[in-house]
Protein backbone atom coordinates (compact mmCIF):
# COMPACT_ATOMS: atom_id res chain seq x y z
CA UNK A 1 0.00 0.00 0.00
CA UNK A 2 1.52 3.26 -1.10
CA UNK A 3 0.09 6.61 -0.18
CA UNK A 4 1.33 8.24 -3.38
CA UNK A 5 -0.82 6.03 -5.67
CA UNK A 6 -3.97 7.56 -7.13
CA UNK A 7 -6.99 6.48 -5.07
CA UNK A 8 -9.00 3.52 -6.33
CA UNK A 9 -12.13 5.32 -5.28
CA UNK A 10 -12.77 9.00 -4.74
CA UNK A 11 -16.10 10.48 -3.67
CA UNK A 12 -16.22 14.24 -4.06
CA UNK A 13 -19.00 16.17 -2.37
CA UNK A 14 -21.49 13.37 -2.96
CA UNK A 15 -25.17 13.85 -2.11
CA UNK A 16 -27.93 11.31 -2.21
CA UNK A 17 -31.26 12.96 -1.62
CA UNK A 18 -34.63 11.18 -1.45
CA UNK A 19 -37.86 13.11 -1.83
CA UNK A 20 -37.99 16.89 -2.08
CA UNK A 21 -39.14 19.95 -0.15
CA UNK A 22 -40.38 19.27 3.37
CA UNK A 23 -39.95 15.51 3.17
CA UNK A 24 -36.44 15.70 1.75
CA UNK A 25 -34.08 13.12 3.21
CA UNK A 26 -30.37 13.52 2.73
CA UNK A 27 -29.00 9.98 2.93
CA UNK A 28 -25.62 11.30 1.88
CA UNK A 29 -24.94 14.91 2.69
CA UNK A 30 -21.73 16.01 1.05
CA UNK A 31 -19.40 13.05 1.45
CA UNK A 32 -15.72 13.21 0.50
CA UNK A 33 -13.88 9.91 0.64
CA UNK A 34 -10.72 8.42 -0.83
CA UNK A 35 -10.02 4.69 -0.72
CA UNK A 36 -6.68 3.45 -1.98
CA UNK A 37 -5.86 0.10 -3.49
CA UNK A 38 -5.14 -2.48 -0.81
CA UNK A 39 -7.02 -0.80 2.00
CA UNK A 40 -9.33 -2.72 4.32
CA UNK A 41 -12.00 -0.26 5.34
CA UNK A 42 -14.78 -0.75 7.87
CA UNK A 43 -17.77 1.54 7.44
CA UNK A 44 -19.70 1.98 10.68
CA UNK A 45 -22.57 4.03 11.89
CA UNK A 46 -26.04 3.73 13.33
CA UNK A 47 -28.88 2.70 11.04
CA UNK A 48 -30.01 5.55 8.85
CA UNK A 49 -26.60 7.16 9.02
CA UNK A 50 -26.03 6.72 5.29
CA UNK A 51 -23.52 3.89 5.46
CA UNK A 52 -25.65 1.55 3.35
CA UNK A 53 -26.40 4.27 0.82
CA UNK A 54 -22.70 4.98 0.61
CA UNK A 55 -22.11 1.29 0.05
CA UNK A 56 -24.68 1.21 -2.76
CA UNK A 57 -23.05 4.20 -4.41
CA UNK A 58 -19.59 2.65 -4.08
CA UNK A 59 -20.98 -0.59 -5.46
CA UNK A 60 -22.46 1.15 -8.52
CA UNK A 61 -25.88 -0.11 -7.51
CA UNK A 62 -27.11 3.42 -6.96
CA UNK A 63 -26.23 6.76 -8.48
CA UNK A 64 -25.56 9.85 -6.38
CA UNK A 65 -27.94 12.76 -6.75
CA UNK A 66 -25.03 15.15 -6.93
CA UNK A 67 -21.26 15.02 -6.73
CA UNK A 68 -18.52 13.05 -8.40
CA UNK A 69 -17.67 9.40 -8.07
CA UNK A 70 -14.25 8.61 -9.48
CA UNK A 71 -13.51 4.91 -9.91
CA UNK A 72 -9.92 4.35 -11.01
CA UNK A 73 -9.90 7.99 -12.01
CA UNK A 74 -13.03 7.71 -14.19
CA UNK A 75 -16.07 9.75 -13.22
CA UNK A 76 -19.12 7.49 -13.01
CA UNK A 77 -21.58 10.24 -12.13
CA UNK A 78 -23.04 10.31 -15.62
CA UNK A 79 -22.66 6.61 -16.41
CA UNK A 80 -25.65 4.69 -17.75
CA UNK A 81 -27.15 1.72 -15.91
CA UNK A 82 -25.53 -0.64 -18.37
CA UNK A 83 -22.14 1.01 -17.90
CA UNK A 84 -22.52 0.65 -14.14
CA UNK A 85 -23.41 -3.00 -14.66
CA UNK A 86 -20.21 -3.48 -16.59
CA UNK A 87 -18.17 -1.79 -13.83
CA UNK A 88 -19.75 -4.23 -11.35
CA UNK A 89 -19.05 -7.12 -13.64
CA UNK A 90 -15.40 -6.38 -14.20
CA UNK A 91 -14.19 -4.63 -11.06
CA UNK A 92 -16.48 -5.37 -8.13
CA UNK A 93 -17.33 -8.28 -5.89
CA UNK A 94 -20.24 -8.33 -3.45
CA UNK A 95 -20.85 -10.17 -0.19
CA UNK A 96 -24.21 -9.68 1.49
CA UNK A 97 -25.58 -10.17 4.96
CA UNK A 98 -28.16 -12.68 3.72
CA UNK A 99 -25.52 -14.57 1.64
CA UNK A 100 -27.76 -14.21 -1.43
CA UNK A 101 -26.84 -17.46 -3.09
CA UNK A 102 -29.08 -18.93 -5.75
CA UNK A 103 -31.24 -21.53 -4.06
CA UNK A 104 -31.26 -25.09 -5.37
CA UNK A 105 -28.08 -24.34 -7.24
CA UNK A 106 -24.78 -25.98 -6.39
CA UNK A 107 -21.95 -24.07 -4.75
CA UNK A 108 -19.91 -24.48 -7.90
CA UNK A 109 -22.62 -23.02 -10.10
CA UNK A 110 -23.12 -20.14 -7.71
CA UNK A 111 -19.44 -19.30 -7.85
CA UNK A 112 -19.42 -19.67 -11.63
CA UNK A 113 -22.14 -17.09 -12.10
CA UNK A 114 -19.97 -13.93 -12.40
CA UNK A 115 -17.81 -15.73 -14.93
CA UNK A 116 -20.87 -16.59 -16.99
CA UNK A 117 -21.53 -12.88 -17.44
CA UNK A 118 -17.86 -12.31 -18.18
CA UNK A 119 -18.09 -14.81 -21.01
CA UNK A 120 -15.52 -17.25 -19.65
CA UNK A 121 -15.72 -20.63 -21.44
CA UNK A 122 -17.32 -23.45 -19.46
CA UNK A 123 -14.25 -25.54 -18.75
CA UNK A 124 -12.21 -22.57 -17.60
CA UNK A 125 -15.20 -21.40 -15.55
CA UNK A 126 -15.40 -24.73 -13.73
CA UNK A 127 -11.70 -24.70 -12.98
CA UNK A 128 -11.68 -21.14 -11.63
CA UNK A 129 -14.82 -21.70 -9.56
CA UNK A 130 -13.44 -24.91 -8.04
CA UNK A 131 -10.22 -23.11 -7.20
CA UNK A 132 -12.07 -20.20 -5.60
CA UNK A 133 -14.06 -22.66 -3.47
CA UNK A 134 -10.86 -24.41 -2.43
CA UNK A 135 -9.38 -21.02 -1.52
CA UNK A 136 -12.15 -20.37 0.99
CA UNK A 137 -11.77 -23.86 2.42
CA UNK A 138 -14.74 -25.49 0.72
CA UNK A 139 -12.90 -27.89 -1.54
CA UNK A 140 -15.08 -31.00 -1.87
CA UNK A 141 -18.34 -29.12 -1.30
CA UNK A 142 -18.72 -28.04 -4.93
CA UNK A 143 -21.94 -29.94 -5.50
CA UNK A 144 -23.68 -28.96 -2.29
CA UNK A 145 -26.62 -26.59 -2.58
CA UNK A 146 -26.96 -23.68 -0.12
CA UNK A 147 -29.59 -25.60 1.84
CA UNK A 148 -26.99 -28.29 2.51
CA UNK A 149 -24.42 -25.83 3.85
CA UNK A 150 -24.15 -24.03 7.20
CA UNK A 151 -24.42 -20.25 7.39
CA UNK A 152 -20.66 -19.84 7.66
CA UNK A 153 -20.14 -22.13 4.69
CA UNK A 154 -22.74 -20.25 2.67
CA UNK A 155 -20.96 -17.01 3.36
CA UNK A 156 -17.71 -18.62 2.25
CA UNK A 157 -19.39 -19.61 -1.00
CA UNK A 158 -20.52 -16.00 -1.38
CA UNK A 159 -16.96 -14.82 -0.78
CA UNK A 160 -15.67 -17.31 -3.33
CA UNK A 161 -18.25 -15.97 -5.77
CA UNK A 162 -17.11 -12.41 -5.14
CA UNK A 163 -13.44 -13.36 -5.47
CA UNK A 164 -13.63 -15.64 -8.49
CA UNK A 165 -13.51 -12.75 -10.92
CA UNK A 166 -10.55 -11.16 -9.11
CA UNK A 167 -12.24 -7.83 -8.47
CA UNK A 168 -10.47 -4.56 -7.71
CA UNK A 169 -12.84 -3.95 -4.84
CA UNK A 170 -14.72 -6.30 -2.54
CA UNK A 171 -17.80 -4.80 -0.93
CA UNK A 172 -19.27 -6.60 2.05
CA UNK A 173 -22.56 -5.40 3.50
CA UNK A 174 -22.89 -6.73 7.07
CA UNK A 175 -21.25 -10.00 6.02
CA UNK A 176 -21.36 -11.41 9.55
CA UNK A 177 -24.78 -10.15 10.55
CA UNK A 178 -26.37 -13.61 10.38
CA UNK A 179 -23.52 -15.56 11.98
CA UNK A 180 -22.52 -16.50 15.50
CA UNK A 181 -19.34 -15.10 16.99
CA UNK A 182 -17.09 -18.00 16.08
CA UNK A 183 -18.25 -17.99 12.44
CA UNK A 184 -18.09 -14.23 12.42
CA UNK A 185 -14.42 -14.20 13.32
CA UNK A 186 -13.76 -17.00 10.90
CA UNK A 187 -15.23 -14.98 8.03
CA UNK A 188 -13.40 -11.84 9.07
CA UNK A 189 -10.10 -13.71 9.26
CA UNK A 190 -10.76 -14.96 5.76
CA UNK A 191 -11.33 -11.40 4.52
CA UNK A 192 -8.29 -10.24 6.43
CA UNK A 193 -6.21 -12.94 4.73
CA UNK A 194 -7.52 -11.98 1.29
CA UNK A 195 -6.54 -8.41 1.99
CA UNK A 196 -3.09 -9.36 3.29
CA UNK A 197 -2.17 -11.95 0.75
CA UNK A 198 -3.82 -10.71 -2.41
CA UNK A 199 -3.92 -7.00 -1.64
CA UNK A 200 -7.67 -6.99 -2.42
CA UNK A 201 -9.26 -3.70 -1.46
CA UNK A 202 -12.13 -4.46 0.91
CA UNK A 203 -14.92 -2.28 2.26
CA UNK A 204 -17.01 -3.83 5.02
CA UNK A 205 -20.19 -2.24 6.33
CA UNK A 206 -20.84 -3.28 9.93
CA UNK A 207 -22.21 -2.03 13.17
CA UNK A 208 -20.09 -4.32 15.33
CA UNK A 209 -16.81 -2.93 16.55
CA UNK A 210 -15.16 -6.35 16.87
CA UNK A 211 -15.76 -6.80 13.15
CA UNK A 212 -14.40 -3.34 12.45
CA UNK A 213 -11.28 -4.25 14.42
CA UNK A 214 -10.21 -6.55 11.60
CA UNK A 215 -9.98 -3.55 9.26
CA UNK A 216 -7.09 -1.15 8.96
CA UNK A 217 -9.30 1.90 8.67
CA UNK A 218 -12.63 2.74 10.20
CA UNK A 219 -15.05 5.31 8.83
CA UNK A 220 -17.95 6.37 11.01
CA UNK A 221 -21.08 7.78 9.38
CA UNK A 222 -23.62 9.95 11.10
CA UNK A 223 -26.53 11.77 9.47
CA UNK A 224 -25.19 11.30 5.99
CA UNK A 225 -21.74 12.64 6.75
CA UNK A 226 -18.43 11.12 7.68
CA UNK A 227 -17.96 11.86 11.34
CA UNK A 228 -14.70 10.08 11.93
CA UNK A 229 -12.05 8.47 9.73
CA UNK A 230 -9.34 6.58 11.60
CA UNK A 231 -6.44 4.58 10.27
CA UNK A 232 -4.54 2.07 12.21
CA UNK A 233 -0.98 1.27 11.30
CA UNK A 234 -0.53 -0.57 8.06
CA UNK A 235 -1.29 -4.25 8.55
CA UNK A 236 1.67 -6.50 8.75
Partner 1 sequence: MKTLLMLTSTLGMALREIRRNVLRSVLTTLGIVIGVAAVIMLVTLGQGATDKVTGDIAKMGVNMLTVVPGAERRGGASVGAAPLTLDDARAIRQEIPSVATVAPSAGRGLLVVSANQNWSTTVTGCTNDYLSVRDLRLAVGRSFNEAEAQGGSPACVLGPTVRSKLFGQGDPLDASIRVGKVACRVIGVTEAKGQNTFGMDQDDFVLMPLTTFQRRILGSRDVGAISMSASTETAIPKVKTQLAALMRARRKLPEGAPDDFSVRDMKEISETLSSVTGALTALLGAVAAVSLVVGGIGIMNIMLVSVTERTREIGIRLAIGARAYEVLLQFLVEAVMLSLFGGVLGMMLGLVGSYAAGRALSFPFRVLPEVVVIAFAFSFLVGVGFGFFPARRAARMNPIDALRHE
Interface with partner 1, residue 70, by CB under 8 A: no
Choice between 72 and 185, CB closer to partner 1: 72
**Around Cβ 56, how many Cβ atoms within 10 Å?**
19
From residue 160 to residue 179, the character string flagging contacts with partner 1 as x (rule: CB under 8 A) and all else as - is -x------------------
CA atoms within 13 A on the CB side of 72: 8
Interface with partner 1, residue 61, by CB under 8 A: yes
Shortest gap between Cβ of 64 and partner 1 (angstroms)? 14
Q: What is the C-alpha separation between 108 and 130, in angstroms, rounded?
A: 6
User: What ranges in the chain are assigned the alpha helix state H?
Assistant: 51-58, 81-91, 107-118, 122-135, 151-163, 181-198, 209-212
Choice between 114 and 152, CB closer to partner 1: 114
DSSP structure class, residue 39: -
Interface with partner 1, residue 36, by CB under 8 A: no
Candidate list 48, 96, 145, 168; residue touching partner 1; CB under 8 A: 96
Apex 60 CA angle, 59 and 62, nearest 5: 105
Candidate list 68, 89, 207, 225; residue touching partner 1; CB under 8 A: 89
Q: Which residues bind partner 1 (CB under 8 A)?
A: 56, 59, 61-62, 81-82, 85-90, 92, 94, 96, 100-104, 113-114, 116-119, 121-122, 161
Amino acid sequence: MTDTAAPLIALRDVFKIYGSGESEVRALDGVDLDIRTGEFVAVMGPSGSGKSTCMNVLGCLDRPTRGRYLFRGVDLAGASLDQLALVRRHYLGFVFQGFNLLARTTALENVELPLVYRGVPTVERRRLAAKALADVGLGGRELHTPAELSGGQQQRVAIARAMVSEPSLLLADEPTGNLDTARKHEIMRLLRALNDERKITIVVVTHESDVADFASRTILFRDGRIERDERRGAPS
